A and B are shown apart, each in its own frame.
Chain A
Amino acid sequence: MITIVVAEHGRAVRSLEPERGEILRLCHRPISVAEISARLDIPLTVVRVLLGDMLAEGDVRTRASGAVARLPEKQVLQAVLDGIRRL
Protein backbone atom coordinates (compact mmCIF):
# COMPACT_ATOMS: atom_id res chain seq x y z
CA MET A 1 0.00 0.00 0.00
CA ILE A 2 2.78 2.45 0.88
CA THR A 3 5.36 0.77 -1.31
CA ILE A 4 6.96 3.50 -3.38
CA VAL A 5 7.62 2.92 -7.05
CA VAL A 6 9.47 4.93 -9.65
CA ALA A 7 9.72 4.66 -13.43
CA GLU A 8 12.94 3.25 -14.81
CA HIS A 9 15.10 5.57 -16.87
CA GLY A 10 14.28 5.79 -20.51
CA ARG A 11 11.08 3.82 -20.29
CA ALA A 12 8.88 5.38 -22.89
CA VAL A 13 5.15 5.28 -22.49
CA ARG A 14 4.29 2.55 -24.93
CA SER A 15 0.85 2.04 -26.29
CA LEU A 16 0.09 -0.97 -24.18
CA GLU A 17 -2.82 -0.82 -21.81
CA PRO A 18 -3.72 2.83 -21.21
CA GLU A 19 -3.63 2.28 -17.45
CA ARG A 20 -0.01 1.23 -17.62
CA GLY A 21 0.87 4.34 -19.59
CA GLU A 22 -0.81 6.49 -16.98
CA ILE A 23 0.93 4.69 -14.14
CA LEU A 24 4.28 5.15 -15.86
CA ARG A 25 3.67 8.88 -16.23
CA LEU A 26 2.76 9.18 -12.55
CA CYS A 27 5.86 7.22 -11.54
CA HIS A 28 8.10 9.84 -13.10
CA ARG A 29 8.69 10.82 -9.49
CA PRO A 30 8.62 8.29 -6.64
CA ILE A 31 5.01 7.67 -5.65
CA SER A 32 3.21 5.23 -3.39
CA VAL A 33 0.92 2.48 -4.63
CA ALA A 34 -1.96 3.97 -2.65
CA GLU A 35 -1.48 7.34 -4.30
CA ILE A 36 -1.41 5.85 -7.80
CA SER A 37 -4.67 4.12 -7.00
CA ALA A 38 -6.31 7.32 -5.72
CA ARG A 39 -5.03 9.59 -8.48
CA LEU A 40 -6.04 7.28 -11.31
CA ASP A 41 -9.17 6.07 -9.56
CA ILE A 42 -8.19 2.44 -10.03
CA PRO A 43 -8.76 0.04 -7.11
CA LEU A 44 -5.62 -0.88 -5.16
CA THR A 45 -5.98 -4.51 -6.09
CA VAL A 46 -5.85 -3.67 -9.79
CA VAL A 47 -2.92 -1.28 -9.37
CA ARG A 48 -0.97 -4.03 -7.60
CA VAL A 49 -1.53 -6.44 -10.48
CA LEU A 50 -0.52 -3.86 -13.11
CA LEU A 51 2.55 -2.85 -11.14
CA GLY A 52 3.50 -6.49 -10.74
CA ASP A 53 3.62 -6.83 -14.53
CA MET A 54 5.47 -3.55 -14.93
CA LEU A 55 8.05 -4.57 -12.33
CA ALA A 56 8.58 -7.87 -14.08
CA GLU A 57 9.11 -6.10 -17.39
CA GLY A 58 11.45 -3.52 -15.92
CA ASP A 59 9.23 -0.49 -16.46
CA VAL A 60 9.33 0.49 -12.81
CA ARG A 61 11.37 -0.33 -9.78
CA THR A 62 10.66 -0.26 -6.10
CA ARG A 63 12.57 -0.27 -2.85
CA ALA A 64 14.04 -3.62 -1.96
CA SER A 65 11.27 -5.88 -0.72
CA GLY A 66 11.00 -6.13 3.01
CA ALA A 67 11.87 -2.48 3.47
CA VAL A 68 8.23 -1.65 3.99
CA ALA A 69 7.14 -4.45 6.27
CA ARG A 70 10.12 -4.01 8.56
CA LEU A 71 9.56 -1.68 11.47
CA PRO A 72 11.31 1.65 11.07
CA GLU A 73 14.71 2.10 12.66
CA LYS A 74 15.35 4.65 15.32
CA GLN A 75 16.78 7.31 13.02
CA VAL A 76 13.74 7.00 10.78
CA LEU A 77 11.49 7.48 13.80
CA GLN A 78 13.50 10.52 14.80
CA ALA A 79 13.18 11.94 11.27
CA VAL A 80 9.42 11.42 11.47
CA LEU A 81 9.26 13.17 14.82
CA ASP A 82 11.35 16.13 13.62
CA GLY A 83 9.32 16.34 10.42
CA ILE A 84 6.01 16.50 12.26
CA ARG A 85 7.38 19.15 14.64
CA ARG A 86 8.38 21.28 11.65
CA LEU A 87 4.90 21.17 10.13
Chain B
Amino acid sequence: MASADSEAVAAEREAIPRSVKILVAGGFGAGKTTLVGSVSEIEPLCTEETMTETGHGVDDTCGVEGKDTTTVALDFGRISVASDVVLYLFGTPGQERFWFMWDEWADGALGAVVLADTRRLDTCFHAVDFFERRGVPFVVAVNRFDGADDYREEEVREALDVPARVPVLTADARVRESCKKVLIDLVSYVIRLRDPSPHG
Protein backbone atom coordinates (compact mmCIF):
# COMPACT_ATOMS: atom_id res chain seq x y z
CA MET B 1 0.00 0.00 0.00
CA ALA B 2 2.76 2.34 0.95
CA SER B 3 4.46 1.89 -2.38
CA ALA B 4 1.21 2.41 -4.29
CA ASP B 5 0.73 5.62 -2.35
CA SER B 6 4.18 6.92 -3.10
CA GLU B 7 3.72 6.01 -6.75
CA ALA B 8 0.53 8.03 -6.79
CA VAL B 9 2.34 10.94 -5.21
CA ALA B 10 5.14 10.64 -7.74
CA ALA B 11 2.67 10.52 -10.64
CA GLU B 12 0.93 13.58 -9.30
CA ARG B 13 4.21 15.39 -9.11
CA GLU B 14 5.09 14.49 -12.65
CA ALA B 15 1.96 15.98 -14.15
CA ILE B 16 1.73 19.72 -13.88
CA PRO B 17 -1.85 20.69 -14.64
CA ARG B 18 -2.71 22.90 -17.52
CA SER B 19 -3.92 26.33 -16.38
CA VAL B 20 -6.41 28.50 -18.20
CA LYS B 21 -7.87 31.83 -17.24
CA ILE B 22 -11.02 33.83 -17.60
CA LEU B 23 -11.04 37.54 -16.89
CA VAL B 24 -13.83 39.30 -15.07
CA ALA B 25 -13.83 42.96 -15.96
CA GLY B 26 -16.16 45.79 -15.14
CA GLY B 27 -16.29 49.17 -13.51
CA PHE B 28 -15.65 50.00 -9.88
CA GLY B 29 -18.04 48.07 -7.62
CA ALA B 30 -19.67 46.20 -10.51
CA GLY B 31 -19.51 42.89 -8.63
CA LYS B 32 -16.26 41.39 -9.94
CA THR B 33 -15.03 40.10 -6.59
CA THR B 34 -18.50 38.82 -5.76
CA LEU B 35 -18.68 36.82 -9.00
CA VAL B 36 -15.24 35.31 -8.49
CA GLY B 37 -16.15 34.34 -4.93
CA SER B 38 -19.45 32.79 -5.98
CA VAL B 39 -17.84 30.11 -8.14
CA SER B 40 -14.33 29.73 -6.75
CA GLU B 41 -13.42 26.57 -4.83
CA ILE B 42 -11.14 28.66 -2.62
CA GLU B 43 -11.80 31.94 -0.85
CA PRO B 44 -10.95 34.60 -3.42
CA LEU B 45 -7.31 35.50 -3.04
CA CYS B 46 -5.79 38.86 -3.55
CA THR B 47 -2.40 39.63 -4.92
CA GLU B 48 -0.55 42.76 -5.82
CA GLU B 49 1.05 43.52 -9.11
CA THR B 50 3.59 46.29 -9.31
CA MET B 51 3.66 47.75 -12.74
CA THR B 52 6.21 50.11 -14.10
CA GLU B 53 4.83 52.49 -16.60
CA THR B 54 7.38 54.14 -18.80
CA GLY B 55 6.84 57.83 -18.54
CA HIS B 56 6.43 60.09 -21.50
CA GLY B 57 8.73 62.90 -20.49
CA VAL B 58 12.00 61.16 -21.29
CA ASP B 59 14.99 63.31 -20.67
CA ASP B 60 17.48 62.34 -23.35
CA THR B 61 20.36 64.37 -22.03
CA CYS B 62 20.75 62.38 -18.83
CA GLY B 63 19.48 59.11 -20.25
CA VAL B 64 17.15 58.43 -17.37
CA GLU B 65 13.63 57.47 -18.22
CA GLY B 66 10.84 58.85 -16.11
CA LYS B 67 8.97 55.91 -14.62
CA ASP B 68 5.86 55.59 -12.56
CA THR B 69 5.24 52.57 -10.44
CA THR B 70 1.68 51.59 -9.79
CA THR B 71 0.45 48.87 -7.51
CA VAL B 72 -2.73 47.20 -8.57
CA ALA B 73 -4.68 44.67 -6.55
CA LEU B 74 -5.96 41.64 -8.42
CA ASP B 75 -8.33 39.15 -6.97
CA PHE B 76 -8.69 35.67 -8.24
CA GLY B 77 -10.34 32.35 -7.65
CA ARG B 78 -9.68 28.80 -8.75
CA ILE B 79 -11.81 25.99 -10.10
CA SER B 80 -10.23 22.59 -10.71
CA VAL B 81 -12.26 21.68 -13.76
CA ALA B 82 -10.50 18.38 -14.42
CA SER B 83 -7.67 16.37 -12.90
CA ASP B 84 -5.26 18.06 -15.28
CA VAL B 85 -6.91 21.43 -15.97
CA VAL B 86 -7.25 24.32 -13.54
CA LEU B 87 -9.33 27.36 -14.34
CA TYR B 88 -8.41 30.70 -12.79
CA LEU B 89 -10.79 33.62 -12.64
CA PHE B 90 -9.23 37.05 -12.42
CA GLY B 91 -11.21 40.04 -11.31
CA THR B 92 -9.48 42.91 -13.02
CA PRO B 93 -9.80 46.57 -12.19
CA GLY B 94 -11.46 47.92 -15.27
CA GLN B 95 -10.27 51.46 -14.94
CA GLU B 96 -8.84 52.94 -18.04
CA ARG B 97 -5.80 54.22 -16.20
CA PHE B 98 -4.59 50.64 -15.92
CA TRP B 99 -4.64 50.17 -19.68
CA PHE B 100 -0.95 49.27 -19.70
CA MET B 101 -1.67 46.17 -17.64
CA TRP B 102 -4.48 44.88 -19.77
CA ASP B 103 -2.30 43.27 -22.39
CA GLU B 104 -0.67 41.01 -19.86
CA TRP B 105 -3.97 40.10 -18.27
CA ALA B 106 -5.47 39.27 -21.63
CA ASP B 107 -2.52 37.20 -22.76
CA GLY B 108 -3.65 33.62 -23.21
CA ALA B 109 -7.07 34.27 -21.67
CA LEU B 110 -9.73 31.86 -22.80
CA GLY B 111 -12.29 34.64 -22.63
CA ALA B 112 -13.73 37.41 -20.51
CA VAL B 113 -16.88 38.39 -18.68
CA VAL B 114 -17.74 42.08 -18.78
CA LEU B 115 -19.92 42.90 -15.80
CA ALA B 116 -22.20 45.74 -16.74
CA ASP B 117 -23.49 47.75 -13.81
CA THR B 118 -26.77 49.26 -14.97
CA ARG B 119 -26.33 52.22 -12.64
CA ARG B 120 -23.16 53.18 -14.47
CA LEU B 121 -23.15 51.51 -17.85
CA ASP B 122 -20.40 53.77 -19.18
CA THR B 123 -17.86 52.27 -16.77
CA CYS B 124 -17.54 49.12 -18.84
CA PHE B 125 -17.15 50.80 -22.21
CA HIS B 126 -13.40 50.51 -22.00
CA ALA B 127 -13.50 46.77 -21.28
CA VAL B 128 -15.85 46.08 -24.21
CA ASP B 129 -13.69 48.14 -26.49
CA PHE B 130 -10.46 46.53 -25.32
CA PHE B 131 -11.65 42.91 -25.70
CA GLU B 132 -13.16 43.71 -29.10
CA ARG B 133 -9.89 45.12 -30.39
CA ARG B 134 -7.72 42.49 -28.73
CA GLY B 135 -9.88 39.67 -30.11
CA VAL B 136 -10.60 38.20 -26.67
CA PRO B 137 -14.02 36.50 -26.76
CA PHE B 138 -16.32 37.99 -24.15
CA VAL B 139 -19.89 37.98 -22.92
CA VAL B 140 -21.64 40.87 -21.23
CA ALA B 141 -23.34 40.01 -17.95
CA VAL B 142 -25.82 42.66 -16.89
CA ASN B 143 -25.69 42.87 -13.13
CA ARG B 144 -29.01 44.09 -11.80
CA PHE B 145 -28.58 46.15 -8.68
CA ASP B 146 -31.54 46.96 -6.50
CA GLY B 147 -33.04 50.30 -7.32
CA ALA B 148 -31.26 50.51 -10.66
CA ASP B 149 -33.18 51.25 -13.83
CA ASP B 150 -34.55 48.10 -15.34
CA TYR B 151 -32.55 47.67 -18.51
CA ARG B 152 -33.38 45.01 -21.01
CA GLU B 153 -30.50 43.05 -22.50
CA GLU B 154 -31.11 44.61 -25.90
CA GLU B 155 -30.92 48.10 -24.45
CA VAL B 156 -27.59 47.31 -22.85
CA ARG B 157 -26.30 45.85 -26.10
CA GLU B 158 -27.25 49.04 -27.89
CA ALA B 159 -25.91 51.37 -25.23
CA LEU B 160 -22.55 49.60 -25.18
CA ASP B 161 -22.43 49.05 -28.92
CA VAL B 162 -21.89 45.32 -28.49
CA PRO B 163 -21.86 43.33 -31.76
CA ALA B 164 -24.80 40.99 -32.41
CA ARG B 165 -22.66 37.83 -32.08
CA VAL B 166 -21.63 38.64 -28.51
CA PRO B 167 -23.94 37.09 -25.90
CA VAL B 168 -25.54 39.55 -23.48
CA LEU B 169 -27.25 38.07 -20.45
CA THR B 170 -28.63 39.12 -17.11
CA ALA B 171 -26.90 37.87 -13.98
CA ASP B 172 -26.69 38.21 -10.24
CA ALA B 173 -23.09 37.97 -9.12
CA ARG B 174 -24.16 36.90 -5.63
CA VAL B 175 -25.87 33.77 -6.90
CA ARG B 176 -23.66 30.81 -7.72
CA GLU B 177 -25.99 29.27 -10.30
CA SER B 178 -26.26 32.60 -12.06
CA CYS B 179 -22.47 32.94 -12.24
CA LYS B 180 -22.16 29.36 -13.46
CA LYS B 181 -24.60 30.19 -16.24
CA VAL B 182 -22.49 33.19 -17.26
CA LEU B 183 -19.33 31.07 -17.41
CA ILE B 184 -21.10 28.25 -19.28
CA ASP B 185 -22.42 30.75 -21.83
CA LEU B 186 -18.96 32.24 -22.24
CA VAL B 187 -17.15 28.92 -22.75
CA SER B 188 -19.91 27.63 -25.08
CA TYR B 189 -19.54 30.82 -27.08
CA VAL B 190 -15.75 30.38 -27.28
CA ILE B 191 -16.23 26.79 -28.48
CA ARG B 192 -18.76 27.94 -31.10
CA LEU B 193 -16.31 30.58 -32.35
CA ARG B 194 -13.62 27.94 -32.68
CA ASP B 195 -15.82 25.45 -34.48
CA PRO B 196 -18.74 27.16 -36.17
CA SER B 197 -20.62 24.01 -37.12
CA PRO B 198 -24.41 24.20 -37.14
CA HIS B 199 -24.66 21.34 -34.65
CA GLY B 200 -22.05 22.77 -32.26
Contacts and interface: CB of A to CB of B under 8 A. Distances in A.
Given A61-B16, A80-B85, A83-B85, 11 more contacts: A9-B10, A30-B16, A32-B78, A38-B76, A43-B49, A43-B50, A45-B49, A79-B82, A83-B81, A85-B184, A87-B39
A3 B78 contact: no
Interface stretch (B24-32, B58-66, B149-157, B185-193): B185-193
A55 B109 CA distance: 24
The 7 nearest A-B residue pairs measured at CB: A83-B81, A38-B45, A37-B47, A2-B19, A79-B82, A38-B47, A69-B108
Contact of A38 (B46, B87, B184): B46
A39 B47 CA distance: 8
B74 interface: yes
30 contacts: A2-B88, A4-B16, A4-B86, A6-B13, A6-B16, A9-B13, A30-B15, A32-B78, A34-B76, A35-B45, A43-B47, A44-B47, A44-B49, A45-B49, A63-B16, A68-B19, A68-B108, A70-B108, A74-B195, A76-B20, A77-B110, A77-B190, A80-B81, A80-B87, A80-B187, A82-B81, A83-B80, A84-B79, A84-B81, A87-B39
Given A32-B19, A62-B16, A72-B110, A83 B45 contact: no
B81 to A, nearest CB: 2
Interface string B31-62: 00000000100000111111000000000000
A54 B120 CA distance: 45
Contact of A71 (B13, B108, B195): B108
A4 B195 CA distance: 28
Interface residues of B, number: 45
A72 B20 contact: yes
Given A77-B110, A80-B110, A81-B188, A35 B20 contact: no
